[in-house]
């Protein structure tokens, strides 16, 4: 009697480790994109706040494009156009670039709201104390405005972390792509997706809890 051929196997410890490595990749591309995108977004928000009409006519429409066009379309277009532009980028690099720009576009409006949250009387008082324009920004506007828009920024950061799953369409093996690979092999979608969901929760929950602690500390 010939032995039966097994096409699918159950989930093993190595598969869970495979998902763990994919979770670290998700964390890596998220941290890089959120960090760089936040820095660029704050700068763009400052330009929108100070530039008034000029920034509204030039920078704002560009940011609107990245906010309005679905992220998956941006990823696919950039990844396929990069070689035409002479850029030899792998899926990780392409995904990081687009996620960074996408984050910057979202953070720009949040940052502008933070600048606008600091009233002119406070800024005039800072300048009357002898502060320069950039000292006023660093010691008055950023601390006060940052606290005002911190919850909104946390929402953007958590959203980008979940949106990083779309980089899987480029072939980057992050958490969602790893889950798809294991589902195809094991035919255990419920178990695999439950583990992947637990990893996403483990990545997101500490951020939201730490943010809540900071907000409570600032409120005191």
* Residue 8 pLDDT: 53
* Residue 50 pLDDT: 86
* Residue 6 pLDDT: 47
C-alpha–C-alpha distance, residues 31 and 178, integer Å: 19
Torsion angle of C-alpha atoms 49, 54, 57, 63, degrees rounded to 10: -40
For every one of its 220 residues, what pLDDT tens digit does the chain have, with 9 covering 90 and above? Answer: 444 544 455 777 888 898 999 999 999 999 999 999 999 999 999 999 888 777 778 888 999 999 999 999 999 999 999 888 888 899 999 999 999 999 999 999 999 999 988 888 888 888 888 888 888 888 888 888 888 899 999 999 999 999 999 999 998 888 888 898 888 888 888 888 999 999 999 999 998 888 888 888 887 6
Smallest CA-to-CA distance from 170 within 30, 98, 76 is with 76
Helix (H) or strand (E) holding 191, with range, is helix 189-219
C-alpha–C-alpha distance, residues 168 and 91, integer Å: 9
* Residue 7 pLDDT: 47
* Residue 9 pLDDT: 56
* Domains and their CATH numbers in the chain: 13-219 (1.10.3720.10)
The answer to whether residues 56 and 48 touch, using CB atoms and an 8 Å cutoff, is yes
DSSP assignment of 85-139: TT----HHHHHHHHHHHHHHHHHHHHHHHHHHHS-HHHHHHHHHTT--HHHHIII
* Residue 85 pLDDT: 86
């Amino acid at each position: 009697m010939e032995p039966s051929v097994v096409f699918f196997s159950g989930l093993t410890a190595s598969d869970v480790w495979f998902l763990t490595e994919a979770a670290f990749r998700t964390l890596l591309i998220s941290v890089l994109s959120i960090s760089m995108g936040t820095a660029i977004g704050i700068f763009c928000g400052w330009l929108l706040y100070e530039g008034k009409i000029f920034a509204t006519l030039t920078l704002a429409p560009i940011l609107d494009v990245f906010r309005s066009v679905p992220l998956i379309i941006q990823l696919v277009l950039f990844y396929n156009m990069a070689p035409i532009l002479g850029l030899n980028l792998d899926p990780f690099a392409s995904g990081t670039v687009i996620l960074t720009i996408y984050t910057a576009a979202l953070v720009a409006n949040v940052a502008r709201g933070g600048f606008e949250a600091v009233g002119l009387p406070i800024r005039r008082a800072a300048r009357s104390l002898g502060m320069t324009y950039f000292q006023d920004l660093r010691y008055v506007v950023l601390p006060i405005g940052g606290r005002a828009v911190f919850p909104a920024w946390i929402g953007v950061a958590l959203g980008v972390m979940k949106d990083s799953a779309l980089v899987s369409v480029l072939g980057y093996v992050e958490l969602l792509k790893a889950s798809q690979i294991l589902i195809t092999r094991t035919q255990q979608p419920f178990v695999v997706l439950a583990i992947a969901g637990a990893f996403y929760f483990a990545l997101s929950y500490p951020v939201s809890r730490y943010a809540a602690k900071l907000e409570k500390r600032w409120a005191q």
